Chains A and B, each alone.
Chain A
Amino acid sequence: MTDTASHRHIPDRLERPWQRLAKSWEALLFVVLVAIFAINCVTSPFFLDPWNLSDATFDFTEKAIMALAMTFLIIAGEIDLSVAAIIALASTAMGAAAQSGAGNAELVAIGLGVGLLCGAFNGWLVTGLRLPSIIATIGTMSLFRGIAYVVLGDQVYKGYPADFAYFGQGYVFWAFSFEFVTFLALAVIAGIVLHRTIFGRVIYAIGNNPLGARFSGIRVTRVKFILFLLTGLASGLAAVMLTSRLGATRPSIAFGWELQVVTMVVLGGVNIQGGSGSILGVVIAAFVMGLVTFGLGLLNVPGIVMSIIIGLMLIAVIALPIVARRLLHQRKAA
């Protein structure tokens, strides 16, 4: 990549906003989303039902909430592969607390607190000790889930308070679940912070050129530390929701989710090497992944086949624009 020097095409005038929008990644994803929605409607008579659609959201909102935080982190040029392991550890801590009779408020506080602590540990490794985040978080991924295994072994924590189920199973109004409403609210907040605040611009600056950002007076390490905290907190929140939804904690909870979360973010058009991406893209990508999984589920397609489709989508969605751009360039050059 570094060897293919790209010569820049400088246009005479800027494209109109709607032109840029039409050519954007988000527009492409949205078309894909509409297509998937339409296909689902045709192939399954059970799809287009508000309660059914509401059920569909449960499967991806927890991952999507983590993906929102991961978006910030990846745009800043870092990554956190330990998010699913944080869920395991936070859920184990909540389970242990529930055994000794903790109430709802304590459980939520413990879930979020453990997430925050794990995020702080990751942040310290990356910003304090200056470890590459991909390796540091592979390490903490084993460490966090490993602690959950040490505590639980092959046991299960059950016996959460009855009203604890609200966070994962409750509805705010009509078919809108607590999980889904929380996700939408967080998505709006994340979008505003990333695209409309100085903090958001700073994240892009760091992702594009950390050294340049430092020379511009941006506290790069502090911002990165905050982003790891946020990712930990989001994982803690996801842990509260998932534990509440399942009503039980095993150490294998949310196994392999980190890859799905990263897939969601990359599918949403965020550059895995940092510097670009948008919340809107990630939100649409979350819906795309959720609806594909749910629609195939209605057709009785096994989960592992869905994962093939998700994998193909991840590669195709990134490869196709590259191929298209190359073909376009060839035509221009000819």
Chain B
Amino acid sequence: MNRMNATPPRNRFTLAGMLAQREMLLLAAVIILLGAIATRFPSFLLPGNLANVFNDTAILLILVIGQMVVILTRAIDLSTAANLALTGMICALLNAAYPDLPLAALILVAALSGLVLGAINGLLVWKLGMPSIVVTLGTLTIYRGLAFLISGGRWVNAHEMSASFLGFPRAEIFGLPVLSWLSLIVLALAWFGFKRLTVGRDFYAVGGNPTAAVYVGIDVGRTRFIAFCLAGLLSGISGYLWVSRYAVAYVDIANGFELDVIAACVIGGISIAGGIGSVGGAILGALFLGIIKNALPVINVSPFWQMAISGAIIIIAVIINVRAERSQGRRILRQPAPGAVTQGA
């Protein structure tokens, strides 16, 4: 492909080298974190418990991949959690009203409605050229409001949901719940897509230097649109998974979770200025948050500390990331002017 020439081969080698280094740093941080917890509670490191922690972080992992695609293209999606709440509510209401509907149909509905919601974001950004932060700020309130409208504010509880609806993410294959497997599949697909597919490389090029991307023949707007569609699709699937896992659907589920998702991306080294980031980093960023969330109750720290701790971690992570980005340019298409990195298009 002609477009792939956008990545100079020499740069790619050093890129890979540095990516490995960054991920190693984060991996070391995760291991130190686990070690620190283990000094007080060795049983935290038992494979069974680690699998639980992973399963607990699975939805965050899926959402982080969606957000990562959007952030790579130098945009941001604040409507992730609202999308999840709306699609989750649609699924739960459908299941409560028509218990005989096959599960596959419900998951399809969730995925498609998530996709449509993401596409609305993407169209507004692409066709009208509106800043993504404004668009998703608006759709964030609209989507959650719609979840209220279709449910009338009522809760859908576990006893209204069918057994297969609740059982699917919990079913175990080779000792791991389906939920964990699903997130592993998403991660594997993302890894392959970012490395091997043209559109995967396009995401990096568009975020790294939109102007150069145009000269290389990439449709920046369309690529962003695809990114928002993917993020919407993953949010939609997560909507079903969330409602099924916690066995309840109401308007405020996952309220504010979009910030956790963005935080995991930032901790994972995905640059908010676009064009930089890897699936490995995203995984480690999400796991880092997931481990802390699971460890706090274990080491007897009040859950009220969680917000302050994750805030402090976000700040520290972004300080480290910004330093690293400044000392070594890591984008595949370099942007000459360092200004205007605060807000994506």
Contact = CB atoms under 8 A, between A and B. Distances in A.
Contact of A263 (B137, B259, B302, B314): B137
Given A77-B342, A131-B319, A132-B318, 14 more contacts: A77-B343, A129-B322, A130-B322, A138-B314, A139-B311, A146-B311, A150-B304, A273-B345, A274-B340, A302-B148, A304-B145, A305-B145, A307-B141, A315-B142
B45 interface: no
B322 A314 contact: no
Contact of A312 (B138, B272, B305, B308): B138
A142 B130 contact: no
Contacts, number: 175
Interface string A95-112: 000000000000000000
Of the four ranges (under 10, 10 to 19, 20 to 34, 35 or more), the interface on chain B belongs to 35 or more
A273 B340 contact: yes
Given A2-B345, A272-B131, A149 B145 contact: no
B337 A134 contact: no
Interface of B is mostly: helix
Interface residues of A, number: 57
A304 B184 CA distance: 36
A141 B345 CA distance: 22
A250 interface: no
Interface of A: 1-4, 77-79, 125, 129-136, 138-147, 149-150, 152-154, 209-211, 251, 256, 259, 262-263, 266, 272-274, 302, 304-305, 307-308, 310-312, 314-315, 318-319, 322-323
Given A315-B135, A322-B130, A142 B340 contact: no
A1 B137 contact: no
A1 B263 CA distance: 26
Contacts of B318: 131-132, 135-136, 139
Nearest to B139: A311
Nearest to B263: A138
Contacts of B312: 139, 143, 146
Most buried by B among A77, A140, A147, A311: A311
A51 to B, nearest CB: 30
A134 B148 contact: no
Interface of B: 76, 124, 128-131, 133-135, 137-142, 144-146, 148-149, 153, 210-211, 213-214, 220-221, 251, 256, 259, 262-263, 266, 272-273, 302, 304-312, 314-315, 318-319, 322, 326, 337-343, 345
Contacts of A131: 315, 318-319, 322
Contacts of B337: 211
B141 to A, nearest CB: 4
A204 B210 CA distance: 25
